[in-house]
Amino acid sequence: MNDKIAKLQPVEIWENFVALNAVPRPSKKEEKVRQFMLDFGRKLGLETFEDKIGNVIIKKPATPGMENRKTVALQSHLDMVPQKNKGTEHDFEKDGIKMLIDGDWVTADGTTLGADNGIGVAAIMGLLASKDIPHPPLEALFTIDEETGMTGAQNLEEGILDAEIMLNLDTENDSELDIGCAGGIDITAKGTYQTEQTPENSQAYLIKVKGLTGGHSGMDIHLYRGNANKILNRLLYLGSQQGLRVSEIHGGGLRNAIPREAEAVVVLPKAKADNILADMKSLADTIKIEQAKQDPDLTFEFLPADLPENVMNQSDQARLIKTVYGAHNGVYRMSPDMEDLVETSNNVASVNVANGNIQIDNLTRSSVESTKEDLANALKSVYELGGLNVELSGSYPGWKPNPDAQILSIMTGLYEKMYHHKPEVVACHAGLECGIIKSHYPNMEIISFGPTIQGAHSPDERVNIKSVQKFWEYLKETLKNIPEKN
């Protein structure tokens, strides 16, 4: 199937996307894809190098007649989110992505596709390899580790780029021009708990929450999709009022993905087990009704399990369940300045409780630094009241919109001319690298755009084939119309 995908139009993108997706590239494991990109640039005879953190830079001179145009940086990130469905056999550190054509879309077989941001990378590769596409001087910037900390952008060396304009190819709606984005901060709560011997006359169960839609913890947070960690905690709270004891909890995964699955091993008093299970199943049915539109495939399982030797100390258990209940998840504040824009949110991304240790991972996002700090402090307070130690790390700035940028005026006019209607000029709630890069190059004008991608950060990820064609034509036309240097 990958061979068929390589022949889709425009082949300049799809051939490169297929080649890229044959290279393992999960976040923080980019060694192979970095070498792939270095080899690609050097094979073309272009100036190609890495900076100290591992970002790859490839520079290409202007085509004849465009030498006096402003230099343009084309930027995308090399890493991808490694998510797969349960039961899918795939090693993201060793295996390439198996792709499928599904009608008008390209998707993957049980895993994330890597269209975020592989289509952008492939488009830049197509431009670098081209011999007949007019363009100004180009500087391709391929950053690392965007998805789990943006460390590539954070540590980008200053002075290695000459560009006055940057086109970030990491937006997921082909009718949008993005001129702003949220910043973020990682919040990690850790602690320990005491255990005690499992009470006599007990029965163990494995409770599973699965089938949630999940998605991008920024772009999809306003859709009110269920968070598996929070849903499971509702069940545990109810059961704990009647004698349920917790042995282990494991839910969620990556900070930037809305958690789709969570499970807990619990112990119930045999005399009350049927009643407690009935009440929890009743609550599960209620939650299904609540989430029917957002999460139509949500399911719950209550399975008999082997009796564990130990359970959480009762007071530690009560404190933990109340803490998770109190931790804010979802939209915190909508923007008062831009209609329908989420300003601030939090994702309770993972909860792991086992062997006397507790860890809860969060990602807080905001386009306003003060409200990012406000929500971070609110979460820190809740977790500390729950007896946990809190670390705030990986903070990165948002990208403040500049509606007066010359490149925005040019691209808006081109879009109207080509498609006979205005583009949507927006800011997004995702953590684009633009704000960080602009902190290194404050005078650079930046626009982010891309093809239509759905389900990013989940195994449902897919990219629209016709949208890729539109994106490619628009990108080429933009490069033809870059203004001359001042």
What letter does residue 404 receive in the DSSP assignment?
T
Is the CB of residue 250 less than 8 Å from the CB of residue 208?
A: no
Is the CB of residue 50 less than 8 Å from the CB of residue 78?
A: no
Counting every residue, how long is the chain? 486
Report how far apart, in Å, the C-alpha atoms of 137 and of each of 108, 411, 483 are: 35, 18, 12
Q: What is the largest CA-CA distance in the chain?
A: 85
- For residues 407 and 401, what is the distance between their CA atoms, to the nearest angstrom? 13
- For residues 236 and 158, what is the distance between their CA atoms, to the nearest angstrom? 50
- For residues 5 and 92, what is the distance between their CA atoms, to the nearest angstrom? 20
What angle (nearest 5°) sits at the alpha carbon of residue 478, between those of residues 475 and 482?
140
Strands (E) in 285-368, as ranges, are: 299-305, 310-312, 330-334, 342-354, 357-366
Computed from CA positions of residues 213, 215, 219, 225, in that sequence, does the dihedral angle turn out positive or negative?
A: positive
Residues forming the active site: 79, 146
- Which has the closest alpha carbon to 412: 400, 423, 428? 423
Cα-flanking dihedrals φ and ψ of residue 399, to 5°? -120, 110
